[in-house]
Amino acid sequence: MKYNFDEIVTRRGTGCVKWDEMPSDDVIPLWVADMDFKAAPAIQEAIRKRAEHGVFAYTLVEEPYYEAVISWFKRRHQWTIRREEILYTTGVVPGMSVAIKALTMPGEKVLILSPDYNCFFSSIRNNGCEVLESVLELSSRSGGARGWVVNWQDFESKCADEKTTVFLLCNPHNPTGRVWTKEELARMNDICMKYGVKVVSDEIHCELVMPGHTFQPFAAVNEACRQNCVILNSPSKSFNTAGLQTANIICAQPEWRRRLDRAININEVCDLNAFGPVALMAAYNESEDWIDELNQYLWGNYQALCQYAEEHLPEWKVRPMEGTYLPWVDITATGLSSQAYADQLLKEAKVWVNPGTMYGAQSGEGYIRLNIACPRALLMEALERIHNA
Protein backbone atom coordinates (compact mmCIF):
# COMPACT_ATOMS: atom_id res chain seq x y z
CA MET A 1 0.00 0.00 0.00
CA LYS A 2 1.09 3.56 -0.70
CA TYR A 3 -0.40 4.90 2.54
CA ASN A 4 0.36 3.71 6.07
CA PHE A 5 -2.90 3.06 7.90
CA ASP A 6 -1.02 1.03 10.54
CA GLU A 7 0.57 4.17 11.97
CA ILE A 8 -0.48 4.81 15.56
CA VAL A 9 -1.38 8.50 15.91
CA THR A 10 -1.56 9.79 19.48
CA ARG A 11 -4.83 11.67 19.71
CA ARG A 12 -5.28 11.92 23.46
CA GLY A 13 -4.62 15.42 24.70
CA THR A 14 -5.56 17.12 21.44
CA GLY A 15 -9.07 18.21 22.42
CA CYS A 16 -10.46 15.16 20.65
CA VAL A 17 -14.01 14.06 21.48
CA LYS A 18 -13.30 10.41 20.70
CA TRP A 19 -10.27 10.11 22.98
CA ASP A 20 -10.47 13.01 25.43
CA GLU A 21 -14.12 12.88 26.50
CA MET A 22 -13.22 9.88 28.66
CA PRO A 23 -10.64 11.16 31.18
CA SER A 24 -9.19 7.71 31.83
CA ASP A 25 -5.99 7.16 29.83
CA ASP A 26 -6.42 3.37 29.64
CA VAL A 27 -9.66 3.27 27.60
CA ILE A 28 -9.68 2.29 23.91
CA PRO A 29 -12.52 4.21 22.22
CA LEU A 30 -14.42 2.31 19.53
CA TRP A 31 -17.48 4.52 19.72
CA VAL A 32 -17.99 7.88 17.94
CA ALA A 33 -17.63 7.69 14.14
CA ASP A 34 -14.35 9.32 13.32
CA MET A 35 -11.14 7.62 12.24
CA ASP A 36 -7.76 7.30 13.92
CA PHE A 37 -5.93 7.81 10.62
CA LYS A 38 -4.25 10.99 9.44
CA ALA A 39 -6.03 12.74 6.61
CA ALA A 40 -4.78 12.18 3.08
CA PRO A 41 -1.44 13.92 2.40
CA ALA A 42 -3.01 16.24 -0.19
CA ILE A 43 -5.48 17.47 2.43
CA GLN A 44 -2.75 18.03 5.00
CA GLU A 45 -0.69 19.99 2.48
CA ALA A 46 -3.64 22.13 1.37
CA ILE A 47 -4.42 23.06 4.98
CA ARG A 48 -0.75 23.75 5.68
CA LYS A 49 -0.54 26.16 2.77
CA ARG A 50 -3.74 27.91 3.80
CA ALA A 51 -2.50 28.22 7.39
CA GLU A 52 0.76 29.80 6.25
CA HIS A 53 -1.21 32.75 4.89
CA GLY A 54 -1.94 33.71 8.47
CA VAL A 55 -5.31 35.44 7.98
CA PHE A 56 -8.47 33.43 8.71
CA ALA A 57 -11.35 35.77 8.02
CA TYR A 58 -14.84 35.18 6.61
CA THR A 59 -14.66 32.63 3.80
CA LEU A 60 -15.92 33.11 0.25
CA VAL A 61 -16.83 29.79 -1.39
CA GLU A 62 -15.68 30.14 -4.99
CA GLU A 63 -16.28 28.25 -8.23
CA PRO A 64 -13.43 25.70 -7.86
CA TYR A 65 -15.24 24.35 -4.80
CA TYR A 66 -18.39 23.61 -6.79
CA GLU A 67 -16.35 22.22 -9.68
CA ALA A 68 -14.65 19.77 -7.30
CA VAL A 69 -18.00 18.50 -5.98
CA ILE A 70 -19.50 18.16 -9.46
CA SER A 71 -16.42 16.44 -10.91
CA TRP A 72 -16.10 13.96 -8.03
CA PHE A 73 -19.66 12.67 -8.16
CA LYS A 74 -19.72 12.56 -11.95
CA ARG A 75 -16.41 10.70 -12.10
CA ARG A 76 -16.89 8.36 -9.19
CA HIS A 77 -20.64 7.78 -9.07
CA GLN A 78 -21.97 8.75 -12.52
CA TRP A 79 -24.16 11.41 -10.95
CA THR A 80 -24.47 14.70 -12.82
CA ILE A 81 -25.01 17.60 -10.41
CA ARG A 82 -25.83 21.06 -11.69
CA ARG A 83 -24.02 24.00 -10.13
CA GLU A 84 -27.24 25.68 -9.01
CA GLU A 85 -28.34 22.56 -7.13
CA ILE A 86 -25.57 22.87 -4.51
CA LEU A 87 -25.98 24.69 -1.21
CA TYR A 88 -23.15 24.53 1.31
CA THR A 89 -23.48 24.36 5.09
CA THR A 90 -21.46 23.44 8.15
CA GLY A 91 -22.27 19.74 8.42
CA VAL A 92 -24.62 16.95 7.44
CA VAL A 93 -26.47 17.04 10.78
CA PRO A 94 -27.10 20.81 10.51
CA GLY A 95 -28.14 20.13 6.91
CA MET A 96 -30.57 17.51 8.14
CA SER A 97 -32.20 20.00 10.50
CA VAL A 98 -32.31 22.53 7.67
CA ALA A 99 -34.10 20.05 5.41
CA ILE A 100 -36.64 19.10 8.06
CA LYS A 101 -37.32 22.76 8.86
CA ALA A 102 -37.71 23.58 5.15
CA LEU A 103 -39.92 20.66 4.15
CA THR A 104 -42.15 19.99 7.15
CA MET A 105 -44.48 21.72 9.56
CA PRO A 106 -44.29 21.12 13.33
CA GLY A 107 -46.47 18.18 14.30
CA GLU A 108 -45.90 16.26 11.08
CA LYS A 109 -44.18 12.87 10.98
CA VAL A 110 -40.77 12.01 9.56
CA LEU A 111 -40.26 8.37 8.62
CA ILE A 112 -36.97 6.56 9.26
CA LEU A 113 -35.68 3.00 8.88
CA SER A 114 -34.93 1.81 12.40
CA PRO A 115 -32.42 1.17 13.93
CA ASP A 116 -31.03 4.42 12.60
CA TYR A 117 -28.38 7.07 13.21
CA ASN A 118 -29.10 8.60 16.62
CA CYS A 119 -29.03 12.22 15.36
CA PHE A 120 -32.02 11.42 13.12
CA PHE A 121 -34.17 11.17 16.24
CA SER A 122 -32.93 14.43 17.77
CA SER A 123 -33.06 16.44 14.53
CA ILE A 124 -36.65 15.39 13.89
CA ARG A 125 -37.79 16.17 17.43
CA ASN A 126 -35.84 19.43 17.64
CA ASN A 127 -37.85 20.68 14.67
CA GLY A 128 -41.15 19.87 16.32
CA CYS A 129 -41.88 16.73 14.32
CA GLU A 130 -42.66 13.16 15.31
CA VAL A 131 -40.36 10.21 14.63
CA LEU A 132 -42.08 7.39 12.76
CA GLU A 133 -40.08 4.15 12.66
CA SER A 134 -40.29 1.39 10.07
CA VAL A 135 -38.18 -1.38 11.58
CA LEU A 136 -35.71 -3.22 9.34
CA GLU A 137 -35.84 -7.00 9.25
CA LEU A 138 -33.11 -9.64 9.07
CA SER A 139 -33.28 -11.75 5.95
CA SER A 140 -31.08 -14.25 4.14
CA ARG A 141 -29.84 -12.64 0.96
CA SER A 142 -27.40 -13.80 -1.70
CA GLY A 143 -24.82 -16.20 -0.33
CA GLY A 144 -26.99 -16.99 2.66
CA ALA A 145 -25.81 -13.91 4.60
CA ARG A 146 -28.19 -12.53 7.18
CA GLY A 147 -28.58 -8.88 6.28
CA TRP A 148 -31.07 -6.10 6.82
CA VAL A 149 -33.99 -5.47 4.47
CA VAL A 150 -36.99 -3.15 4.37
CA ASN A 151 -40.38 -4.45 5.46
CA TRP A 152 -42.12 -3.05 2.39
CA GLN A 153 -45.65 -3.54 3.67
CA ASP A 154 -44.87 -1.67 6.87
CA PHE A 155 -42.91 1.01 4.98
CA GLU A 156 -45.85 1.72 2.70
CA SER A 157 -48.33 1.80 5.57
CA LYS A 158 -46.17 4.42 7.32
CA CYS A 159 -45.90 6.50 4.13
CA ALA A 160 -49.68 6.31 3.77
CA ASP A 161 -50.14 8.04 7.14
CA GLU A 162 -51.49 11.47 6.17
CA LYS A 163 -49.17 13.14 8.70
CA THR A 164 -46.03 11.65 7.11
CA THR A 165 -44.40 14.26 4.88
CA VAL A 166 -40.69 13.34 4.80
CA PHE A 167 -38.73 10.08 4.63
CA LEU A 168 -35.25 10.53 6.15
CA LEU A 169 -32.96 7.91 4.61
CA CYS A 170 -29.44 6.88 5.63
CA ASN A 171 -27.60 5.72 2.47
CA PRO A 172 -25.36 3.77 3.19
CA HIS A 173 -27.11 2.84 6.38
CA ASN A 174 -25.73 3.55 9.85
CA PRO A 175 -25.71 1.41 11.99
CA THR A 176 -26.57 -1.76 10.05
CA GLY A 177 -24.00 -1.22 7.29
CA ARG A 178 -26.43 -1.79 4.42
CA VAL A 179 -25.56 -0.30 1.03
CA TRP A 180 -28.95 0.10 -0.61
CA THR A 181 -29.30 -1.16 -4.17
CA LYS A 182 -30.65 0.86 -7.08
CA GLU A 183 -33.79 -1.31 -7.10
CA GLU A 184 -34.41 -0.76 -3.39
CA LEU A 185 -33.98 3.00 -3.69
CA ALA A 186 -36.32 3.17 -6.69
CA ARG A 187 -38.95 1.21 -4.79
CA MET A 188 -38.63 3.52 -1.77
CA ASN A 189 -39.20 6.53 -4.00
CA ASP A 190 -42.12 4.97 -5.85
CA ILE A 191 -43.90 4.42 -2.56
CA CYS A 192 -42.99 7.88 -1.26
CA MET A 193 -44.26 9.60 -4.40
CA LYS A 194 -47.47 7.62 -4.28
CA TYR A 195 -48.27 9.30 -0.96
CA GLY A 196 -46.60 12.69 -1.49
CA VAL A 197 -43.66 12.00 0.82
CA LYS A 198 -40.39 13.86 0.14
CA VAL A 199 -37.06 12.04 0.54
CA VAL A 200 -34.08 13.44 2.43
CA SER A 201 -31.05 11.18 1.96
CA ASP A 202 -28.04 11.38 4.28
CA GLU A 203 -25.17 10.09 2.11
CA ILE A 204 -22.22 11.01 4.31
CA HIS A 205 -20.85 7.43 4.22
CA CYS A 206 -21.05 7.22 0.42
CA GLU A 207 -17.33 6.58 -0.16
CA LEU A 208 -17.04 3.90 2.53
CA VAL A 209 -18.16 0.84 0.59
CA MET A 210 -16.78 -2.66 0.94
CA PRO A 211 -15.77 -5.06 -1.89
CA GLY A 212 -18.67 -6.45 -3.89
CA HIS A 213 -20.94 -3.46 -3.24
CA THR A 214 -21.54 -0.20 -5.09
CA PHE A 215 -22.89 3.03 -3.67
CA GLN A 216 -25.91 4.36 -5.56
CA PRO A 217 -26.71 8.08 -5.08
CA PHE A 218 -30.45 8.40 -4.52
CA ALA A 219 -30.71 11.33 -6.91
CA ALA A 220 -29.05 9.35 -9.71
CA VAL A 221 -31.44 6.37 -9.62
CA ASN A 222 -33.84 7.96 -12.10
CA GLU A 223 -35.39 11.34 -12.87
CA ALA A 224 -38.30 10.74 -10.49
CA CYS A 225 -35.86 10.23 -7.61
CA ARG A 226 -33.89 13.31 -8.60
CA GLN A 227 -37.01 15.47 -8.49
CA ASN A 228 -38.24 14.09 -5.16
CA CYS A 229 -35.14 14.32 -2.97
CA VAL A 230 -32.74 16.42 -0.99
CA ILE A 231 -29.23 14.95 -0.69
CA LEU A 232 -26.87 15.60 2.21
CA ASN A 233 -23.20 14.76 1.71
CA SER A 234 -19.72 15.73 2.84
CA PRO A 235 -16.16 14.47 2.54
CA SER A 236 -15.91 14.62 6.33
CA LYS A 237 -16.67 10.99 7.19
CA SER A 238 -14.71 9.38 4.37
CA PHE A 239 -11.68 11.67 4.56
CA ASN A 240 -11.72 12.17 8.35
CA THR A 241 -12.24 15.93 8.24
CA ALA A 242 -15.32 16.31 10.46
CA GLY A 243 -13.67 19.05 12.50
CA LEU A 244 -13.46 21.25 9.39
CA GLN A 245 -17.27 21.47 9.27
CA THR A 246 -18.12 21.48 5.59
CA ALA A 247 -21.06 19.78 3.88
CA ASN A 248 -23.40 20.19 0.93
CA ILE A 249 -27.14 20.07 0.42
CA ILE A 250 -28.03 19.10 -3.15
CA CYS A 251 -31.54 19.59 -4.49
CA ALA A 252 -32.93 19.77 -8.03
CA GLN A 253 -36.23 21.44 -7.06
CA PRO A 254 -35.92 25.25 -7.26
CA GLU A 255 -38.74 25.93 -4.79
CA TRP A 256 -37.35 23.45 -2.28
CA ARG A 257 -33.90 25.05 -2.71
CA ARG A 258 -35.35 28.45 -1.93
CA ARG A 259 -36.83 27.07 1.29
CA LEU A 260 -33.61 25.21 2.12
CA ASP A 261 -31.55 28.36 1.61
CA ARG A 262 -33.90 30.27 3.87
CA ALA A 263 -33.65 27.58 6.56
CA ILE A 264 -29.84 27.60 6.33
CA ASN A 265 -29.92 31.28 7.22
CA ILE A 266 -32.61 30.88 9.90
CA ASN A 267 -30.49 28.18 11.55
CA GLU A 268 -27.35 30.33 11.02
CA VAL A 269 -25.30 27.52 9.48
CA CYS A 270 -24.40 29.50 6.37
CA ASP A 271 -20.68 30.20 6.86
CA LEU A 272 -17.78 27.78 6.37
CA ASN A 273 -14.44 28.02 8.13
CA ALA A 274 -11.32 28.94 6.18
CA PHE A 275 -9.99 25.37 5.97
CA GLY A 276 -13.15 23.51 4.95
CA PRO A 277 -13.26 24.42 1.24
CA VAL A 278 -9.54 23.83 0.65
CA ALA A 279 -9.79 20.44 2.36
CA LEU A 280 -12.81 19.46 0.25
CA MET A 281 -11.03 20.40 -2.96
CA ALA A 282 -7.91 18.46 -1.97
CA ALA A 283 -10.02 15.44 -1.07
CA TYR A 284 -12.09 15.39 -4.25
CA ASN A 285 -9.37 16.50 -6.68
CA GLU A 286 -6.28 14.74 -5.34
CA SER A 287 -7.11 11.92 -2.92
CA GLU A 288 -9.06 9.27 -4.80
CA ASP A 289 -6.29 6.67 -4.47
CA TRP A 290 -6.20 7.34 -0.71
CA ILE A 291 -9.90 6.53 -0.27
CA ASP A 292 -9.53 3.36 -2.34
CA GLU A 293 -6.70 2.14 -0.12
CA LEU A 294 -8.64 3.14 2.99
CA ASN A 295 -11.55 0.92 1.97
CA GLN A 296 -9.19 -2.01 1.43
CA TYR A 297 -7.75 -1.50 4.90
CA LEU A 298 -11.19 -1.20 6.53
CA TRP A 299 -12.26 -4.42 4.81
CA GLY A 300 -9.17 -6.11 6.27
CA ASN A 301 -10.14 -4.84 9.73
CA TYR A 302 -13.66 -6.17 9.29
CA GLN A 303 -12.37 -9.59 8.25
CA ALA A 304 -10.01 -9.63 11.24
CA LEU A 305 -12.93 -8.76 13.52
CA CYS A 306 -15.10 -11.54 12.11
CA GLN A 307 -12.33 -14.12 12.42
CA TYR A 308 -11.48 -13.11 15.98
CA ALA A 309 -15.12 -13.17 17.05
CA GLU A 310 -15.64 -16.60 15.51
CA GLU A 311 -12.64 -18.01 17.37
CA HIS A 312 -12.78 -16.18 20.71
CA LEU A 313 -16.16 -14.44 21.14
CA PRO A 314 -18.78 -17.07 20.23
CA GLU A 315 -21.53 -15.02 21.89
CA TRP A 316 -21.07 -12.36 19.20
CA LYS A 317 -22.79 -12.44 15.82
CA VAL A 318 -21.10 -9.87 13.60
CA ARG A 319 -23.61 -8.85 10.94
CA PRO A 320 -22.57 -8.25 7.31
CA MET A 321 -20.98 -4.82 6.79
CA GLU A 322 -21.50 -3.66 3.21
CA GLY A 323 -20.52 -0.07 3.91
CA THR A 324 -19.37 2.39 6.62
CA TYR A 325 -16.74 1.31 9.16
CA LEU A 326 -19.27 0.56 11.90
CA PRO A 327 -19.97 -3.17 12.37
CA TRP A 328 -23.33 -3.99 13.97
CA VAL A 329 -22.89 -6.84 16.43
CA ASP A 330 -25.64 -9.04 17.89
CA ILE A 331 -24.84 -9.70 21.57
CA THR A 332 -28.17 -11.25 22.64
CA ALA A 333 -26.36 -14.51 23.51
CA THR A 334 -24.66 -12.71 26.41
CA GLY A 335 -28.02 -12.40 28.16
CA LEU A 336 -27.35 -8.73 28.89
CA SER A 337 -29.08 -5.63 27.61
CA SER A 338 -27.16 -3.49 25.14
CA GLN A 339 -26.54 -0.78 27.71
CA ALA A 340 -25.48 -3.23 30.42
CA TYR A 341 -23.08 -4.98 28.05
CA ALA A 342 -21.55 -1.70 26.85
CA ASP A 343 -21.16 -0.59 30.47
CA GLN A 344 -19.48 -3.89 31.33
CA LEU A 345 -17.02 -3.59 28.44
CA LEU A 346 -16.10 -0.08 29.54
CA LYS A 347 -15.67 -1.04 33.18
CA GLU A 348 -13.95 -4.42 32.84
CA ALA A 349 -12.27 -4.37 29.42
CA LYS A 350 -11.65 -0.60 29.17
CA VAL A 351 -13.17 -0.60 25.68
CA TRP A 352 -15.81 2.01 24.82
CA VAL A 353 -18.53 0.95 22.35
CA ASN A 354 -22.02 2.24 21.54
CA PRO A 355 -25.07 0.39 22.89
CA GLY A 356 -27.53 -0.45 20.13
CA THR A 357 -30.38 1.29 21.92
CA MET A 358 -28.82 4.64 20.90
CA TYR A 359 -30.17 3.87 17.43
CA GLY A 360 -33.66 2.76 18.43
CA ALA A 361 -34.93 1.92 21.90
CA GLN A 362 -36.54 -1.30 20.67
CA SER A 363 -34.92 -2.05 17.31
CA GLY A 364 -31.39 -1.58 18.64
CA GLU A 365 -31.75 -3.73 21.75
CA GLY A 366 -29.42 -6.72 21.76
CA TYR A 367 -26.77 -4.98 19.63
CA ILE A 368 -23.63 -2.92 19.99
CA ARG A 369 -21.93 -0.75 17.36
CA LEU A 370 -18.17 -0.78 16.92
CA ASN A 371 -15.89 1.68 15.13
CA ILE A 372 -13.10 -0.27 13.38
CA ALA A 373 -11.53 2.74 11.61
CA CYS A 374 -8.27 2.48 13.50
CA PRO A 375 -4.90 0.80 13.07
CA ARG A 376 -5.35 -2.97 13.11
CA ALA A 377 -3.07 -3.41 16.11
CA LEU A 378 -5.33 -1.14 18.16
CA LEU A 379 -8.44 -3.05 17.06
CA MET A 380 -6.86 -6.37 17.97
CA GLU A 381 -5.80 -5.03 21.38
CA ALA A 382 -9.39 -3.96 22.04
CA LEU A 383 -10.71 -7.40 21.03
CA GLU A 384 -8.12 -9.11 23.25
CA ARG A 385 -9.24 -6.97 26.17
CA ILE A 386 -12.86 -7.92 25.57
CA HIS A 387 -11.99 -11.61 25.31
CA ASN A 388 -9.89 -11.52 28.49
CA ALA A 389 -12.51 -9.59 30.44
Query: Does residue 183 have a pLDDT over 70?
Result: yes
CB contact at 8 A, 168 and 200: yes
pLDDT digits (tens, 9 = 90+) for 296-345: 999 999 999 999 999 999 999 999 999 999 999 999 999 999 999 999 99
Band (pLDDT 50/70/90 cuts) for residue 260 is very high
Q: What is the DSSP string of 31-71?
A: -SS--SSPPPHHHHHHHHHHHHH----PPP--HHHHHHHHH
Query: Does residue 179 have a pLDDT over 70?
Result: yes
Q: What is the DSSP string of 300-369?
A: HHHHHHHHHHHHH-TT-EEPP--BSS--EEE-GGG-S-HHHHHHHIIIII-EE-EEGGGG-TTTTTTEEE
pLDDT digits (tens, 9 = 90+) for 83-98: 999 999 999 999 999 9
| Long-range contacts of 122-127, Cβ-Cβ distance < 8 Å, separation of 24 or more | 123/93, 123/96, 123/97, 124/100, 124/168, 126/97, 127/97, 127/100, 127/101
pLDDT digits (tens, 9 = 90+) for 120-136: 999 999 999 999 999 99
In angstroms, the Cα distances linking 240 to 39, 75, 208, 235, 247 are 6, 21, 11, 8, 13
* pTM for the full predicted model: 0.97
**Taking residues 336-361, what's their average pLDDT?**
98
Band (pLDDT 50/70/90 cuts) for residue 142 is low
- Give the pLDDT confidence score for residue 143 in this predicted structure: 65
CA distance 191 to 385: 46
**Taking residues 238-252, what's their average pLDDT?**
98
- pLDDT averaged over the chain? 97
**Taking residues 249-275, what's their average pLDDT?**
97
**Taking residues 167-178, what's their average pLDDT?**
98
